[in-house]
């Protein structure tokens, strides 16, 4: 799994040496899915987080409900790197199916905590191996079979707390947070953690270098997954209609939204919902409902993943051509087809940009952080209504389903709810009438009225077939060309209004790097590796939307070699940049990662260095 | 009231103060004699008689000759000619956005029973408040006459091609799936159709009308079971349908057992005058038996086949706000700062 | 409608001058759709064709069944140019709705035949105007109203025959062909044509320059539309399963196929069909059936147009990823959405090439002539089975629904029916077993078995989710990468096997031109215009398939400026070329035509000259 | 025959000379106790008992936990785990390519009744020869327990969420649409299920089985109407189902009126022994009434609900060649040169 050639740590010290490694290591817990290790892992993550140490967690789970191997990696990084770390410093082996493999994956000089019954002692001599009868210890806490299975996970939390020096009060707090007002569960889990801890103190002698020590880098920070953040964004963005069809990894967007809305979007006066959430029969219907709702004036959205996007193709073209606002939150997973439903990817960029037959081009927003999920969800509705077009938010499984640290989200004072060019009855009385598809303002964006507007001139006829400025059916060649050109112009206007890219131009940089979405997190780290390991200075541009903002060109123009890093096979963003800037195309070099595992800094660094060395 | 033949009689207005013309649309581009145009006329009449305010109406359709017709009525209502077979989802969305809208969907038998049967089933299941008219000619008119899924077994195309698959009876389907207003009619029976349309306007929830609407160009020949001739010959009204809108306070007393009166939730009444058969449209099982019997007997049973005015519609099930979601103000759709603070706290 | 700035003819002579113009003019007949003008127009076209004069006809009809304006243009071209001619030399006005417009569209110096009752006499003095009471004349032939309406069209055929010098025996033959063994119809129509002709001889004095004279450029040639040609290709290509959902302009592919199959694909021994044709409930089902059939060993196809392609997106990804043969014949019409269903376009190229979510790339064949429709339909099945992938044939409305002259199709001796890498029971007995997704031959193409193969090792499990070489479910990162890479490699292999482009390299050419599909026909003429009007020498490359054959690169590399001419807004082929050859990207310049009317030479010539003059 | 306890009893073989193990697949990865695994076992048993040659079988499915199960039986049969809700079209295609194949499709209630209802309706309408099993747990298992379109009104999720939409009864739908073999069973009733599956194997045309198959992880709690407990408590067999394959020439004589025997086209017989109610599965109207009554009474009526072994299947309607189209030789699928010449002539 790890493409790492070398390692920060092993470079510095030979295996075995136990000079302490503080707040800078990865833990990988290997368990069986459906065995309840999730809560144990979150508690572990939270405890470290509460000690002020930057952490990140990645859940590597199977497309299955129970019984298959699953891995959870926690990374503690004093420098605040939250991307996946290719190497495993500390392994926890609980799953018999994969125990030996799991033991082998630990980097030399690392450590392994293993369920005693797996008999992994002595499987390797270049790592510290700790054995513990996890389920026996759990059994002492509870004899109930089902419960014991669950609690066994809490045992390793206790042992790790002891071995790594995680403070018990933080663990207690984390458990309390994990089981909000479930007194009984809290007590039971706590008891188990303590049992684990005691076992460790009594029976284990620490021989590994890893330790957690209190820092102050997480004060006031929150932990949240991207899907929940998107849900919050939608709720504060004034979303009124939500339709969906369940699909991993997007389901939790609407599931979280359903809970938040029920809590915060009931009109206190009437006790009625200021929204409607509907589980559709499939994705065609989900987008159809969003389009009907957007047309009738709702701020409507749906959330889905690759297969859903494909099924939405025809309707997406209708929204584009009939100019109807719609927000589609795509949590990308590995395709094509069903692909790897529980693995991450950035593989829908190109096909979504040109989704549907005929000449179409869509607006795409690409969040990289949970904060951007919150922000872009709100901006998506504004952009959709301003441009009367479908707006696709391209999240991914890594961002959507994993937990991320973040500054608390800010109240959207700066994001007023913008309904775009909607003419009210009063406007119509003033104007006398309007032409639905007339480019009055020269920005390609026409005016619309909402069904139900009480004015005889309000009505117009919407269709996916050819029409003129007055929304009358037309097959006239010149009408069609005019319409097609205005639609293109509208997208030109969008360049200036979508979230601009974020550039970090380094003085006299040797190379430029372009990335987007979750690839961003590995880049922070990659750039430090390039600098520290080779003294290579790299400027960095993070793209946040399509069509490209003008600033993208400037960045490319100002660097001789630009590496475009993304998580798909076909270099999709690289392709779009090539199309947009043919004159600069030869400067662009793809760096591609597409095995379903979140990309890591080491992979990028090595790929870039390999190409730099080739001097290509 | 002016009667003298010499001075021009003013056009009659309805309770909305509008005249029949106000309910028309652009000129039809369908073939002369197309059943769909006949239905359009009755829609215009029904909406006029019921006194609907056009701006409160949304007209929806899929793709097909039938789906073109929303352009031909209620010119002052918003219309949406969506994509083929997927109008139900678009209509559902529109109602979610604004529950005050009166939605009328016009579809064809291909648009509904072939490509659209999935969305149709789920629309019925949700009981989305909407009048759904299937203009049923047994063929795909707009693509030049291929059989649709409502074509009768044994029906022949001009070319002689025979349909050997059984038809989908969308009325039976709708009843089985719990639709509260299911009617079948015929483009050549304007009186019944208008009454059924007015009844549909008075119904709260989904109202489905399967209207036989001959395609004069591709399916009106000998051997077709969806021709004017065949429909006329085989039509068997289950009863004589009448409609008394809530705003007309006439009190009539009906002959015992001769006329069944259905009270609609807005106070309007549908009257079903007994003809030569007993027919009780309020009992599912009986209705279904009668329809099945008629089908196997080659009869075209028309009228209000099943009615249950009591079912809650989708907007009620969702506990939606009384005002249209589409126009709720920021204060209602964006929670206050303290809400966000509270949430942020819980995530720390 | 005409973008033409200048005209071959009007350049040479002032309007009014009646020096004769032989076999080089366009006729545009304006009627009402559903009025039966179709057969009259075909008779006209055929008669000229039978006189040995190259002709082409284009039907410009509305998305409607009866009552709306429709136009039919016939072009006679002694030089054999069959693209649409922008200008109208001879107009025929029968439709009251558009009569005045139609009269105005005739180029100065041209002629107009008008239904007398329209009162167009004297509407212009720069063209020859002939009036005739078409329906009255028809009425004399038949008093029956419906019939009279139909026959009115045959009247103008007779008049034109007289005015243009079309020989009556040819008209008679054409009528006989038009109404095969319908004795009564033949007589009636003939009678009507004669009546028209007599009227003309008696009442009209020819003042226009246009004449048809016998040539020998159509001997042995056939006339057929692209959809029928595709159907023939499928039938002779061994197609066994056809599924479809009616959609203009593709319906006639399957309708023609249905007739041909019923006639030529019934097993004489058993009297049973050696094929199955199924009208599906929609396009999702149509492709689903094709995939099921292809998987189980049929040579299966479906035909559709843009909206259908969009609906097929999800299934297309399954076919790509699970590696199942499928042929999809896309007769392109104007999109997005319902767009202009009865107008032509080349707008599905880009979105179809990357159809479906995730990393996908498809094989596309692009026929330009009816002969290629016949040939590519056969090759499509071979390629689909050889590459175990969906193959899209990108025809368009102009090619599919219009009538074209062609050399007779050759019996496919050179196209053996190739089933690709299928292992039979015997093979399995020899090999003992096989691995479904193993790249045994290093070409990226694995071996498959058909369901029903009577061998215990024949079975394998097909899925759209991740799998390894043995077709076992797998989420392993390395398995996925290997699979994705092999799929990419398979497409590399395809480059060598798809129909290569056809290049016409001109010695020391000033520019190169790239086109594809029906745009080809206008190019032949455009290049002559460039040469004759400006002495500009242009090489020409016609692309016939994606992924690009290696020869495409060489062509681009050997010209400094290359114009990429296509019928869509977003320069879709230009985009794909840019992606493929970034180093050469700056040489490429789009020439785009996207109003739904078939592109014409004059438009291309003018656009190229405009850019050449700018010296850009 | 070997009976002595001491020497190992050889595994029993069927008429294909195979043992039960030969009908198994890879190990299930479903949750321990999942109803789907119980159904898988009965499929294995039924195919073994009927003596089906595995290589003649194709296993089809959509997406879902249920749709994973074809990997768990008949390892020597080709399998196709297609896309969500669209298995019917893939199955139809497979049968078109090779009519000799025995097709068994396994789907879920979400895969069939939610996203898949459109293709399901048309599959039934075409009477494609195929065994179609809907493993019905009322929820989307694989996506973690959302309600499907077969969830009963009033059914509760663990989270307390209530389903307020009516369920789609796919058996009623199938019967209305003309399916010739419609059964309902329960994963917890192996004996009945095996007999119904063998009957399905003997049926020519589409056979539909709606099998209640509890999701132990997401829908097996109190308040769920698709739990083992609830199904056990409410199951009401319409009759006791037995099956006598054509190759077992036993002659039994059944008590007058006590047992109904259905002759299948291959000579097999389905025996329906009367229990406490009269139930006639050969009369549509009666069957439908009984099912509807049971539904409203909260009963889970199981057994062979409707049967009509006589309907022609899709391959017959198409007049397809007797041999599989998939493997017809060039001489049959490419017309001779003279055919092309003839056509070319006609185009000159
Ligand atoms: C996705 C898609 N497939 C196919 C078509 C082509 N098409 C247009 S209308 C139609 C059928 C219309 O039949 P019906 O609904 O019965 O309407 P009618 O014309 O008979 O009134 C079809 C197949 C389309 N527009 N979109
Ligand atoms: C197009 C598409 N949408 C959504 C999904 C996600 N998905 C996978 S299985 C499933 C539902 C399965 O429910 P059911 O058919 O009842 O099977 P079960 O797991 O309950 O056995 C869904 C929605 C998908 N795979 N494809
Ligand atoms: S084709 Fe048939 S359905 Fe369409 S307009 Fe003409 S008559 Fe009506
Ligand atoms: S989640 Fe439910 S349906 Fe899926 S395997 Fe587990 S128990 Fe079975
Ligand atoms: Mg129709
Ligand atoms: Mg289920």
If you write DSSP's letter for every residue of C394-463 in order, what string do you get? Answer: EEEHHHHHSEEEEPPPPP-TTS-----SB--HHHHHHHS---TT--TTSSS---B--TT-SSTTT--EEE
**Tokens 């030529």 appear where?**
C264
Mean pLDDT of A243-261: 98
**CA quadruple A177, A178, A184, A188: dihedral positive or negative?**
negative
Lowest mean pLDDT among A33-42, C297-306, C461-470: A33-42
- Nearest CA of chain B to the CA of A168: how many Å? 18
Q: Is the pLDDT of residue C15 over 70?
A: no
Cβ of B141 closer than 6 Å to ligand 3, yes or no, is yes
Protein residue with least CA distance to atom 6, ligand 3: B31
Lowest mean pLDDT among A205-209, B56-60, B255-259, C272-276: B255-259
CA nearest B316 in A: which residue? A272
The answer to whether D311 faces chain C, any CB pair under 8 Å, is: no
Q: What H or E segment, with its residue span, contains residue C6?
A: none
Neighbours of D3 (CB within 10 A): 6
- Nearest CA of chain C to the CA of B200: how many Å? 29
Q: Is the pLDDT of residue C457 over 80?
A: yes
Cβ of B202 closer than 6 Å to ligand 3, yes or no, is no
CB of D315 closer than 8 Å to CB of C270: no
| C12: confidence class by pLDDT, cuts 50, 70, 90 | very low
CB hemisphere CA count around C369 (13 angstroms): 15
pLDDT value for B234: 97
B neighbour chains, 3+ CB pairs within 8 Å: A, C, D
**CA quadruple B226, B229, B230, B232: dihedral positive or negative?**
positive
Mean pLDDT of C101-121: 97
CA dist B59 and C488 (Å) reads 48
- ipTM of predicted assembly, 2 dp: 0.97
For residue C191, how far is its CA from the centre of ligand 6 (angstroms)? 70
Q: Is the pLDDT of residue A248 over 90?
A: yes
CA dist D88 and C292 (Å) reads 9
Interface test with chain B among C65, C242, C303, by most B beta carbons within 10 Å: C65
**Tokens 């105007």 appear where?**
C129
- Nearest CA of chain C to the CA of B105: how many Å? 19
Cβ of D61 closer than 6 Å to ligand 2, yes or no, is no
Mean pLDDT of A50-58: 97
Q: Provide the number of CB pairs (under 8 Å) joining chain B to chain D.
A: 58
Q: Give all strands (DSSP E) within chain D, no chain letters.
A: 57-61, 78-81, 102-108, 130-136, 139-140, 146-147, 181-186, 206-212, 235-237, 239-244, 259-263, 269-274, 300-307
CA dist A2 and B303 (Å) reads 71
For residue B219, how far is its CA from the centre of ligand 5 (angstroms)? 9
The answer to whether C291 faces chain A, any CB pair under 8 Å, is: no
Mean pLDDT of A416-427: 98
Interface of B with A in 13-52 (CB under 8 A): 26
Q: Is the pLDDT of residue B3 over 60?
A: no
Interface of D with C in 62-101 (CB under 8 A): 70-71, 75-83, 86, 88-98, 100-101
Protein residue with least CA distance to atom 2, ligand 3: B215
Using only C-alpha atoms, what is the Rg of chain A? 26
CA dist B283 and B262 (Å) reads 13
Protein residue with least CA distance to atom 8, ligand 3: B34
| C18: confidence class by pLDDT, cuts 50, 70, 90 | low
pLDDT value for A102: 97
SS3 of residue C569 by DSSP? coil
CA dist A403 and A222 (Å) reads 10
Which residue of D34, D71, D135, D212 sits with most ligand 4 atoms within 8 Å of its CB, as the best mutation to test the pocket? Answer: D34
The parts of chain D modelled with pLDDT lower than 50 are: 1-4
CA nearest C64 in B: which residue? B142
Q: What digits encode the pLDDT tens for the residues B47-58?
A: 999 999 999 999
pLDDT value for C9: 38
- Nearest CA of chain A to the CA of C427: how many Å? 31
- Ligand 3: which atom is nearest the Cα of residue B216? 7
Q: Is the pLDDT of residue B255 over 80?
A: no
Interface test with chain D among B126, B166, B290, B308, by most D beta carbons within 10 Å: B166
Q: What H or E segment, with its residue span, contains residue A146?
A: helix A145-164
Cβ of A57 closer than 6 Å to ligand 2, yes or no, is no
CB atoms B115 and C282 under 8 Å: yes
| A7: confidence class by pLDDT, cuts 50, 70, 90 | very low
Q: What's the residue count for chain C?
A: 616
CA nearest A249 in D: which residue? D143
SS3 of residue C574 by DSSP? helix
CB atoms D101 and C284 under 8 Å: no
Ligand in nearest proximity to the CA of A318: 1
The answer to whether D339 faces chain C, any CB pair under 8 Å, is: yes
Cβ of A583 closer than 6 Å to ligand 4, yes or no, is no
CB atoms A65 and D217 under 8 Å: yes
Residues of A in contact with D143 (CB under 8 A): 246-248, 251
CB atoms D348 and C409 under 8 Å: no
Q: What H or E segment, with its residue span, contains residue A536?
A: none
Ligand in nearest proximity to the CA of D138: 6
pLDDT value for D54: 98
Q: A53 is written with which tokens?
A: 């140490």
Lowest mean pLDDT among A179-183, A474-478, D77-81: A179-183
Q: What digits encode the pLDDT tens for the residues B159-184?
A: 888 999 999 999 999 999 999 999 99
CA dist A586 and A557 (Å) reads 11
For residue D215, how far is its CA from the centre of ligand 6 (angstroms)? 8
Residues of D in contact with A34 (CB under 8 A): 31, 217
| C14: confidence class by pLDDT, cuts 50, 70, 90 | very low
Ligand in nearest proximity to the CA of D136: 6
Which residue of B215, B221, B224 sits with most ligand 3 atoms within 8 Å of its CB, as the best mutation to test the pocket? Answer: B215
Is pTM beyond 0.95 here? Answer: yes
Interface test with chain C among A337, A476, A577, by most C beta carbons within 10 Å: A337
pLDDT value for C51: 97
Cβ of D47 closer than 6 Å to ligand 4, yes or no, is no
- Nearest CA of chain A to the CA of D42: how many Å? 22
Q: What digits encode the pLDDT tens for the residues B87-143?
A: 999 999 999 999 999 999 999 999 999 999 999 999 999 999 999 999 999 999 999
Cβ of B30 closer than 6 Å to ligand 3, yes or no, is yes
Q: How far is CA A452 from CA A60, A296, A300, D208, in A?
A: 49, 8, 18, 46
- Ligand 4: which atom is nearest the Cα of residue D108? 3
């Amino acid at each position: 799994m790890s493409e790492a050639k070398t390692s920060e740590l092993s470079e510095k010290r030979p295996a075995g040496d136990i000079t302490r490694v503080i707040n800078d290591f990865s833990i990988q817990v290997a368990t069986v899915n459906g065995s309840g290790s999730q809560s144990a892992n979150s508690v572990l993550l939270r405890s470290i987080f509460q000690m002020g140490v930057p952490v990140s967690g990645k859940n590597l789970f199977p497309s299955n409900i129970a019984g298959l191997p699953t891995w959870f990696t926690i990374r503690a990084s004093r420098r605040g790197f939250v991307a996946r770390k290719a190497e495993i410093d500390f392994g926890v082996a609980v799953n018999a199916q994969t125990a030996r493999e799991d033991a082998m994956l630990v980097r030399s000089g690392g450590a392994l905590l293993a369920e005693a019954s797996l008999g992994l002692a002595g499987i390797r001599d270049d790592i510290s191996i700790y054995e513990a009868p996890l389920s026996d210890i759990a059994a002492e806490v509870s004899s109930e079979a089902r419960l014991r299975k669950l609690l066994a996970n809490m045992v390793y939390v206790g042992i790790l707390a002891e071995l790594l020096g995680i403070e018990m009060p933080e663990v207690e707090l984390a458990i309390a947070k994990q089981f909000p007002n479930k007194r009984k569960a809290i007590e039971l889990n706590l008891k188990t953690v303590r049992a684990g801890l005691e076992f460790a103190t009594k029976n284990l002698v620490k021989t590994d270098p890893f330790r957690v020590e209190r820092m102050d880098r997480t004060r006031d920070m929150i932990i949240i997954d991207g899907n929940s953040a998107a849900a919050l964004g939608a709720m504060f963005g004034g979303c009124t209609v939500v339709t969906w069809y369940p699909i991993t990894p997007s389901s939790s967007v609407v599931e979280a939204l359903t809970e938040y809305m029920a809590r915060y979007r009931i009109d206190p006066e009437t006790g009625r919902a200021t929204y409607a959430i509907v589980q559709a029969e499939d994705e065609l219907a989900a987008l159809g409902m969003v389009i009907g709702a957007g047309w009738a004036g709702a701020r409507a959205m749906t959330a889905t993943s690759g297969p859903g996007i494909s099924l939405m193709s025809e309707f997406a073209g209708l929204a584009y051509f009939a100019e109807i606002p719609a927000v589609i939150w795509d949590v990308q997973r590995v395709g094509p087809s069903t692909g790897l439903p529980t693995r991450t990817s950035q593989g829908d960029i190109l096909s979504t940009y040109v989704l549907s037959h005929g000449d179409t081009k869509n607006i795409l927003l690409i969040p990289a952080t949970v904060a951007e999920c919150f922000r872009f969800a709100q901006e998506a509705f504004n952009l959709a209504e301003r441009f009367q077009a479908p707006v696709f938010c391209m999240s991914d499984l890594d961002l959507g389903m994993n937990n991320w640290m973040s500054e608390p989200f800010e109240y959207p004072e700066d994001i007023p709810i913008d309904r775009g060019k909607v003419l009210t009855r009063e406007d119509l009385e003033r104007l006398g009438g309007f032409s639905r598809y007339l480019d009055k303002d020269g920005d390609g964006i026409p005016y619309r009225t909402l069904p139900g507007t009480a004015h005889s001139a309000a009505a117009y006829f919407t269709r996916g077939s050819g029409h003129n400025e007055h929304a009358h059916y037309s097959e006239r060649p010149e009408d069609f060309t005019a319409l097609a050109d205005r639609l293109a112009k509208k997208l030109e206007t969008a360049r200036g209004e979508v979230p601009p890219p974020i550039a970090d131009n380094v003085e006299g940089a040797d190379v430029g790097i372009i990335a987007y979405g979750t690839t961003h997190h590995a880049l922070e780290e990659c750039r430090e590796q390039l600098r520290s390991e080779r003294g290579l200075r790299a400027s960095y541009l993070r793209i946040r939307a399509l069509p490209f903002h003008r600033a993208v060109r400037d960045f490319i123009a100002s660097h001789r070699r630009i590496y475009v890093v993304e998580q798909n096979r076909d270099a999709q963003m690289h392709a779009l940049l090539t199309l947009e800037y043919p004159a600069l195309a030869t400067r662009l070099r793809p760096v591609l990662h597409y095995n379903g595992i979140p990309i890591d800094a080491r992979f990028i660094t090595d790929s870039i260095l390999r190409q730099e060395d080739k001097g290509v | 009231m002016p009667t003298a033949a010499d001075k021009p009689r003013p056009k009659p207005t309805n309770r909305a103060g509008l005249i029949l013309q106000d309910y028309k649309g652009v000129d039809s581009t369908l073939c002369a004699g197309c059943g769909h145009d006949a239905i359009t006329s009755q829609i215009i009449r029904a909406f006029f008689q019921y006194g609907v305010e056009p701006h409160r109406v949304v007209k929806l359709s899929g793709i097909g000759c039938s789906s073109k017709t929303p352009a031909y009525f209620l010119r002052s209502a918003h219309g949406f000619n969506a994509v083929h077979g997927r109008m139900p989802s678009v209509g559902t969305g529109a109602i979610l956005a604004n529950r005050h809208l009166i939605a009328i969907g016009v579809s064809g038998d291909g648009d509904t029973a072939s490509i659209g049967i999935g969305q149709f089933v789920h629309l019925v299941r949700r009981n989305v408040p909407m009048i759904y008219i299937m203009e049923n000619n047994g063929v795909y008119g707009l693509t030049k006459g291929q059989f649709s899924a409502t074509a009768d077994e044994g029906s022949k195309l001009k070319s002689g091609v025979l349909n050997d698959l059984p038809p989908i009876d969308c009325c039976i389907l709708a009843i089985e799936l719990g639709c509260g207003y299911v009617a079948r009619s015929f483009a050549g029976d304007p009186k019944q159709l208008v009454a059924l349309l007015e009844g549909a306007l008075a119904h709260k929830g989904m109202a489905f009308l399967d209207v036989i609407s001959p395609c004069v160009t591709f399916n009106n020949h000998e051997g077709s079971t969806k021709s004017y001739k065949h429909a006329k010959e085989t039509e068997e009204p289950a009863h004589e349908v009448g409609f008394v809108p809530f705003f007309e306070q006439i009190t009539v007393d009906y002959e015992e057992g001769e006329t069944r009166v259905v009270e609609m939730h807005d106070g309007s009444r549908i009257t079903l005058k007994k003809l030569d058969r007993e027919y009780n449209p309020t009992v599912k099982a009986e209705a279904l038996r009668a329809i099945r019997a008629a089908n196997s007997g080659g009869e075209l049973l028309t009228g209000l086949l099943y009615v249950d005015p009591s079912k809650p519609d989708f907007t009620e099930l969702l506990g939606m706000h009384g005002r249209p979601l589409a126009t709720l103000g920021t204060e209602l759709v964006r929670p206050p700062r303290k809400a966000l603070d509270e949430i942020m706290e819980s995530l720390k």
